[in-house]
Structure formats: structure tokens, C-alpha cells
Structure 1
Amino acid sequence: MSNSDSKKLLDRYLVAYNSFNIDGMLALLSPDVRFENYSSGQLTDAANGIDEFRALAEKSKSLFSEREQRITKLTLDQDSAIAEIAYRGQLATDIPGGPSAGTVLDLQGQSEFSFKGGQISKIVDRS
């Protein structure tokens, strides 16, 4: 996959993510996609395959009234990319033992993407 194609794929993924378009996100993923989310070095969520990813995306969608991931720096290789991410989201519901609905989260993180067959085959988010 060319760097130009990889960037276009990531741009489409972020547009779908930011607009809560789960079907749009899934259309860009390989059927055996692997997703991992790490917070402070601890694995907090994982999904194997498109069905588990959908379930996780639906759960995440219900937590936020708005959200935006923006790439601040992108390093592309032939089959992978590393994106520095600025994340902002407003909670739609209270988090038990955590912030309440309406709280705005501003985070910096990194997402690693792997590509296979013109699709995203792996996403690792770290914040």
C-alpha cells in the first residue's frame, strides 16, 4: 500500500470515528482486525475480529456526546503508520468512580495502525 493510500484510509477512518459512523469505520477494517487500547501502560480494552470491534465501538459511542481524534503527526511505512493523536471528548454519561457526564476529556496519545489488503488490520491506541 502506498503512503498516499494509507493516509487516505486513515483520514476516512477518523472522519467515520469522529462522526460516530460505526458502519463507516468497520468498512475500512479487515475481518480479523485486532484492536488494543492502553491507558498508562495498562491494557484496558481489546477486540479480536470485526464483531468484537463493533461491540466495543457501540459501547464507546454511548459514553460520549461528542468526540474528535486529530492527527498531529503521522509517520508512514509500507504496511503501518504511527499517528500522534490529540483527543477531545465530552462524556454523555457518568463514569462510576470517575468523571461525570458533561466532563470534557483532553488527551494526547499515539495510535499504531497496521494495513493488509487495503484495509486496517490492527489498531493499538496508547494514552
Structure 2
Amino acid sequence: MEYSQRERLIQDYIAAYNSFDVEAMIAYLDDDVRFVNIAHDEINLSLMGRRAFWDQAVQAADFFSERKQTVLSYNHTSEETEILVQYHAILAIDLPNGLQKGQVLDMNGRSIFKFADGKISSLTDIT
């Protein structure tokens, strides 16, 4: 897949994420997608398959009244594309970790995408 096609796919996926459109997010994923979330150098979530991703994405959408990822840069290799992202969100509920409804989250992170057959086959989010 050409780098420009990867970027378009990532942009479309993030646009769906930003608009809470889980169905559209899923449309960009391979059936056997692997999702990993890493925070503070520890894996705190690992999923396999579109159904598992769907379930988690629907649940996570309820956590936020607003959320937005903005791509700051792309770095392509033959195997993957890494993006640097700026993340902004406002919590819609109190979370068990002590974060409270209405709290604003602003952070930078990175996401690593891999691709197969024109879809996202792996996504790793790192903060």
C-alpha cells in the first residue's frame, strides 16, 4: 500500500473516531485486527478481532462527551506507519482511576498502524 493511501486510511479512521462513529471505525479494520494500548510502558488493553474492538469502542465512547485526535506527523516504513498525535477529550463520567466527569484530558502520544488488504490490521496506541 502506498504511503498516501495509508495516510488517507488513517485520516478516515481518526475522523470516525473523533465523531464517535464506531461503525465507520470498524469499516477500516481487518477482520483479524490486533489492538494494543500501552500507557506508561505497560500494556493495559489487548484485543484481537473486529468484534472485540467493536465492544471496547462502544464502551469507551461513553467515557467522553468530546474527544479529538489530531495527527501531528507521519513516519512510514515498509512494515508500518507511526503517527504522532495530540489528544484532547472531556470525560463524560467518573472513572475508577480517580479522573472525574468534566475533567479535560490533553496529551500527546503515538499510534503505530500496520496494514493488510487495504485495511488496518494492527493498531498500537502509546501514551
> Under a length normalisation based on structure 2, what TM-score does the superposition of the two structures give?
0.97
Task: Using the TM superposition, name which of 45-54 and 77-86 deviates more.
Answer: 77-86
Spell out the pairing of 1:1-127 with structure 2 (5 A cutoff).
Answer: 1-127=1-127
Aligned residue type for 2:54: R
SS at match of 1:20: coil
Number of equivalences: 127
Distance 2:101 2:45 in 1: 21
Gaps of 5+ in 1: none
Distance 2:49 2:96 in 1: 28
Deviation at 1:85, TM superposition (A): 0.8
SS at match of 1:9: helix
Deviation at 1:97, TM superposition (A): 3.9
Deviations 1:16-36 (A, max 9, x none): 000000010000000000000
Gaps of 5+ in 2: none
Identical positions, percent: 34
SS at match of 2:62: helix
